[in-house]
A and B are shown apart, each in its own frame.
Chain A
């Protein structure tokens, strides 16, 4: 296993936060979301692509994302995801939780 990569339960719990974070700047389709997460985290977070789509669909079902099929310049039609107001609120909440968590872990580990 790549030492830099974080996998397992920690990543699974953070998937919604990561997905919502990369969509903050604008709409993206699934492959782009996976790529964007990989790029932004220097491949530390290599999102399991099999977990990406269930996470996207769950966020869409709860109303945090909207999805629209659109023709793309290259390749097949793609399903673009965008944040909703509810999604923005959820992202802000996740970010607050993450700061609390990070601070607590930093304190605990000295």
Chain B
């Protein structure tokens, strides 16, 4: 959720929905609405729904076993939201009280009056069906569907705050735990904070989806007067596979083997939100239990993250890239422009990611102090090559010594004193760190590298399906 402006215009993003706005002021209004107005509306709607869904204090009923049995059978047969059913029960209980009192005041023995009062209402099943039909009108059904649709954004808006409330302490706890582990137990390790944060974010999203599903089901049930259990089951049966397919095939994100199961947490949150204790209030959880759950969860995440720790390269930052011996040899000094930096490193190099799968790399030959200011025209077959990188922490510092060849190559073009090439790495599982070098064929027919290259990180960003199908 956010607002961004740029030369191309103002964009408003809410969850996965992004829209270009004709005027920044509209964006500011939407931004304020999404953070404040929608959650407040959501809380108001939750309280309205709660009034109809959850039973208030039990009605006082005549002290008679047969009356209690009649009312219990009525409640069980109504098939209405609990709050509405409780109201009906209270109303019928009051009616029976009045009828019995009226009959006994007229001289009828109490036990006969009780039987007469119940008899006047008729068979309990018939009464329950008639009341249910009178409550569940088509107009209320349509209004209920509308209420459910409105409930989704309101539930998401409230859920965002709930998710932030859950995620912040979890993130703090996990970050402190990882830092402590790095400092004291595993010096030289680079624990994957990014994975931990991904998992926490997905857990928070699960809470958000759960709140939205719960409010949508209860909103629909409250307005339509249908059973929330039946609605919840239908919503879960239809929505869970749909949301699952959405996560699998449509929603892109950073993927790893470890985080893939967690990608489905929002789907599970949705299903649980639509069905768990949907016919009544959620049980109150003690603070001590919440605290214990947070600690257990944090320990679980840390336990998952530690095994995928990567060893930090010694002595980083390094003076020189490592593992270059697997690359084509450096080109003849007379033909390769040299930089003022590392001796013999060739052209200056820098790469920047472009989009989610490619990187644009520039190799500069414009060192004013060197006689070879331009790349000799004798070079042919100029191209950029992406090799698997070795990393220090998450940062590429050279070529993976086990690499046998470039993963991807792309033609390089001369642009003044520069050599420019754009590599499309594609969606590959064996990233995200790559080492990019320019190479060319010298007059002797050999391919040489023209620079020691530069590292680039292109984290996988795609759907779960794309990750599963991506080449290694």
The 7 closest A-B pairs by CB, nearest first: A50-B122, A54-B130, A31-B98, A58-B134, A57-B134, A54-B134, A49-B120
Interface of B is mostly: helix
> In the complex, what distance in Å separates the CA atom of A53 from the CA atom of B129?
11
B135 contacts A61, C-beta separation under 8 Å = yes
> In the complex, what distance in Å separates the CA atom of A95 from the CA atom of B422?
84
Contacts of B88 in A (CB 8 A): 53, 57
Contacts of A29 in B (CB 8 A): 94
Q: CB < 8 Å: which of B60, B99, B130, B135 contacts A31?
A: B99
**Provided the pairs A57-B135, A61-B137, A61-B140 are in contact, do residues A79 and B91 lie with their beta carbons within 8 angstroms?**
yes
- Supply 25 A–B pairs (Cβ within 8 Å), ascending by A: A29-B94, A30-B94, A31-B94, A31-B95, A31-B99, A35-B102, A49-B99, A50-B121, A50-B123, A53-B92, A54-B130, A54-B133, A56-B134, A57-B88, A57-B135, A58-B134, A61-B137, A61-B139, A62-B139, A75-B94, A76-B59, A76-B60, A76-B90, A79-B87, A79-B90
B137 contacts A53, C-beta separation under 8 Å = no
Interface presence of A107 (CB below 8 A): no
**Which residues on A are within 8 Å of B, measured CB to CB?**
29-31, 35, 48-51, 53-58, 61-62, 69, 75-79
> In the complex, what distance in Å separates the CA atom of A51 from the CA atom of B135?
13
Distance in Å: Cβ of A62 to nearest Cβ of chain B: 7
Contacts of A51 in B (CB 8 A): 130
Q: Name the residue of chain A whose CB is nearest to the CB of B131.
A: A54
Contacts of A54 in B (CB 8 A): 127, 130-131, 133-134
Contacts of B122 in A (CB 8 A): 48-50
Distance in Å: Cβ of B45 to nearest Cβ of chain A: 21
Contacts of A76 in B (CB 8 A): 59-60, 90, 93-94, 97
**Provided the pairs A57-B135, A58-B134 are in contact, do residues A50 and B94 lie with their beta carbons within 8 angstroms?**
no
A53 contacts B60, C-beta separation under 8 Å = no
Contacts of A61 in B (CB 8 A): 134-135, 137, 139-140
Distance in Å: Cβ of A102 to nearest Cβ of chain B: 28
Distance in Å: Cβ of A31 to nearest Cβ of chain B: 4
Q: CB < 8 Å: which of B87, B98, B127, B140 contacts A50?
A: B127
> In the complex, what distance in Å separates the CA atom of A58 from the CA atom of B135?
6
Q: CB < 8 Å: which of B95, B131, B137 contacts A62?
A: B137
Q: Name the residue of chain B whose CB is nearest to the CB of A79.
A: B91
Interface presence of B101 (CB below 8 A): yes
Q: Mark B102-126, 1 if CB is under 8 A from A, else 0.
A: 1000000000000000001111001
Contacts of B95 in A (CB 8 A): 30-31, 49, 53
> In the complex, what distance in Å separates the CA atom of A78 from the CA atom of B98?
10
Q: Name the residue of chain A whose CB is nearest to the CB of B132.
A: A54
B121 contacts A49, C-beta separation under 8 Å = yes
Contacts of B133 in A (CB 8 A): 54
Contacts of A69 in B (CB 8 A): 87, 90
Contacts of B93 in A (CB 8 A): 76
Q: CB < 8 Å: which of A35, A55, A77 contacts B94?
A: A77
Which of B87, B95, B122, B131 has the most chain A CB atoms inside 10 A of its CB? Answer: B95
Distance in Å: Cβ of B200 to nearest Cβ of chain A: 45
Distance in Å: Cβ of B105 to nearest Cβ of chain A: 12
> In the complex, what distance in Å separates the CA atom of A29 from the CA atom of B95?
9
B130 contacts A78, C-beta separation under 8 Å = no
> In the complex, what distance in Å separates the CA atom of A53 from the CA atom of B60?
19
Distance in Å: Cβ of B72 to nearest Cβ of chain A: 17
> In the complex, what distance in Å separates the CA atom of A69 from the CA atom of B87?
9
Distance in Å: Cβ of B108 to nearest Cβ of chain A: 16
Contacts of A57 in B (CB 8 A): 88, 131, 134-135
B120 contacts A53, C-beta separation under 8 Å = no
Q: Mark B35-56, 1 if CB is under 8 A from A, else 0.
A: 0000000000000000000000
Q: Name the residue of chain B whose CB is nearest to the CB of A51.
A: B130
Distance in Å: Cβ of A20 to nearest Cβ of chain B: 15
Contacts of B59 in A (CB 8 A): 76-77
> In the complex, what distance in Å separates the CA atom of A105 from the CA atom of B151?
53
Contacts of A56 in B (CB 8 A): 134
**Provided the pairs A75-B94, A76-B59 are in contact, do residues A50 and B139 lie with their beta carbons within 8 angstroms?**
no
Q: CB < 8 Å: which of A35, A48, A50, A53 contacts B91?
A: A53
Q: CB < 8 Å: which of A30, A50, A62, A79 contacts B130?
A: A50
